[in-house]
Structure 1
Amino acid sequence: MLAFYGRMSTVEFQDRTTSLGWQREATEETIREHGVIVAEYFDEGCSRRLPWRQRPATPQLIAATEQPNRSFDAVVIGEYERAFYGDQFNAVLTALRARGIQLWLPKAGGPVNLDDPVHQALMLLLESQSRREVLRARHRVLAAMHVQSRVQGRFLGGRPPYGYRLANAGPHPNRAHASWGRRMHRLEPDSATARWVRWIFEQRATGRSVAGIARELNDLGVPCPSSADRERNRHRTKHEWIVRTVVGILGNPRYTGRQVWNRHGTSTTAPVRRRPQVRPAAARGWTESEKNTHPALVDEATFLAIQGMRAGRPTKYGGTRTYVLAGLVQCQLCGRRLDSHWVNGRPGYRCRHGHTSARNRPPELAKNVYVREDHLLNDLRNRFPETADDDGSATADYLRTHDLTITCGGHTREVKACSSLCVRSTAGETVGGQLLLL
Structure 2
Amino acid sequence: MSTVEFQDRETSLGWQREVAEETIRGHGVIVAEYFDEGCSRRLPWRERPAAAQLMAAAKQPNRSFDAVVIGEYERAFYGDQFGAVLTALRVQGIQLWLPEADGPVNLDDPVHQALMLLLGSQSRREVLRARHRVLAAMHVHSRVQGRFLGGRPPYGYRLADAGPHPNRAHASWGRRLHRLEPDPATAQWVRWIFQQRATGRSVAGIARELNDRGVPCPSSADRDRNRHRTKHEWIVRTVVGILENPRYTGRQVWNRHGVSTTAPVPRRPQVRPAAARGWAKSEKITHPALVDEATFLAIQGMRAARPTKYGGTRTYVLAGLVQCQLCGRRLDSHWVNGRPGYRCRHDHTSARNRPPGLAKNIYVREDHLLNDLRARFAETVGDDGSAIADYLRSNHLTLIYGGPTQEVKPCGPPRIRAATDEATEGQLLLL
TM-score, scaled to structure 1? 0.70
Question: What is the count of residue pairs matched by the alignment?
Answer: 336
Task: Indicate how the Cα distance of structure 1 residues 365 and 248 shifts in structure 2: closer, same or farther if over 3 A, else same.
Answer: farther
CA distance in 2: counterparts of 1:28 and 1:160, whole angstroms = 48
> Does structure 1 retain, via aligned residues, the 8 Å contact 2:95–2:105?
yes
CA distance in 1: counterparts of 2:165 and 2:259, whole angstroms = 28
Alignment-mate amino acid for residue 98 of structure 1: V
Q: Which runs of 5+ in 1 are unaligned?
A: 1-7, 270-279, 313-321, 369-438
Deviation per residue, 1:151-193 (Å, 9 max, x gap):
1110001110000011111111111111111111110111110
Is 1:361 the counterpart of 2:379? The answer is no
1:113 to 99, 106, 110: 106
User: SS of 2:33's equivalent?
Assistant: strand
Task: Indicate how the Cα distance of structure 1 residues 282 and 102 shifts in structure 2: closer, same or farther if over 3 A, else same.
Answer: closer
CA distance in 2: counterparts of 1:71 and 1:118, whole angstroms = 30
TM-superposed CA distance for 1:266, in Å, is 2.9
User: SS of 2:145's equivalent?
Assistant: coil
Match runs of 1:170-319 below 5 Å = 170-266=163-259, 283=276, 285-307=278-300, 309-310=302-303
What does residue 127 of structure 2 align with?
134
Task: Indicate how the Cα distance of structure 1 residues 54 and 358 shifts in structure 2: closer, same or farther if over 3 A, else same.
Answer: farther
2:67 to 31, 53, 74: 74
Match runs of 1:139-150 below 5 Å = 139-150=132-143
Alignment-mate amino acid for residue 287 of structure 1: A
What does residue 10 of structure 2 align with?
17
1:329 to 303, 313, 317: 313
CA distance in 1: counterparts of 2:112 and 2:257, whole angstroms = 42
TM-superposed CA distance for 1:309, in Å, is 2.8
Task: Indicate how the Cα distance of structure 1 residues 131 and 328 shifts in structure 2: closer, same or farther if over 3 A, else same.
Answer: farther
Match runs of 1:158-169 below 5 Å = 158-169=151-162
> Does structure 2 retain, via aligned residues, the 8 Å contact 1:149–1:287?
yes
> Does structure 2 retain, via aligned residues, the 8 Å contact 1:76–1:103?
yes
Alignment-mate amino acid for residue 33 of structure 1: G
Alignment-mate amino acid for residue 55 of structure 2: I
Q: Which runs of 5+ in 2 are unaligned?
A: 263-272, 321-332, 343-364, 387-431
TM-superposed CA distance for 1:200, in Å, is 0.7
2:97 to 101, 104, 126: 104
CA distance in 2: counterparts of 1:117 and 1:126, whole angstroms = 14
CA distance in 1: counterparts of 2:115 and 2:218, whole angstroms = 53
> Does structure 1 retain, via aligned residues, the 8 Å contact 2:161–2:179?
yes
TM-superposed CA distance for 1:366, in Å, is 3.2
CA distance in 1: counterparts of 2:384 and 2:278, whole angstroms = 38
User: SS of 2:252's equivalent?
Assistant: strand
Is 1:64 the counterpart of 2:57? The answer is yes
TM-superposed CA distance for 1:341, in Å, is 3.9
What does residue 34 of structure 2 align with?
41
> Does structure 2 retain, via aligned residues, the 8 Å contact 1:81–1:130?
yes
Task: Indicate how the Cα distance of structure 1 residues 56 and 171 shifts in structure 2: closer, same or farther if over 3 A, else same.
Answer: same
Task: Indicate how the Cα distance of structure 1 residues 161 and 358 shifts in structure 2: closer, same or farther if over 3 A, else same.
Answer: farther
CA distance in 2: counterparts of 1:149 and 1:247, whole angstroms = 24
Alignment-mate amino acid for residue 15 of structure 2: W
Alignment-mate amino acid for residue 361 of structure 1: L
What does residue 374 of structure 1 align with?
none
Root-mean-square deviation (Å): 3.1
CA distance in 2: counterparts of 1:16 and 1:293, whole angstroms = 39
What does residue 435 of structure 1 align with?
none
Alignment-mate amino acid for residue 76 of structure 1: V
Deviation per residue, 1:186-225 (Å, 9 max, x gap):
1011111000001111111122222211111111011111
Moved more, 50-59 or 65-74: 50-59
User: SS of 1:121's equivalent?
Assistant: helix
Deviation per residue, 1:351-392 (Å, 9 max, x gap):
99x968667334435369xxxxxxxxxxxxxxxxxxxxxxxx
What does residue 405 of structure 1 align with?
none
What does residue 76 of structure 2 align with?
83
Task: Indicate how the Cα distance of structure 1 residues 367 and 116 shifts in structure 2: closer, same or farther if over 3 A, else same.
Answer: closer
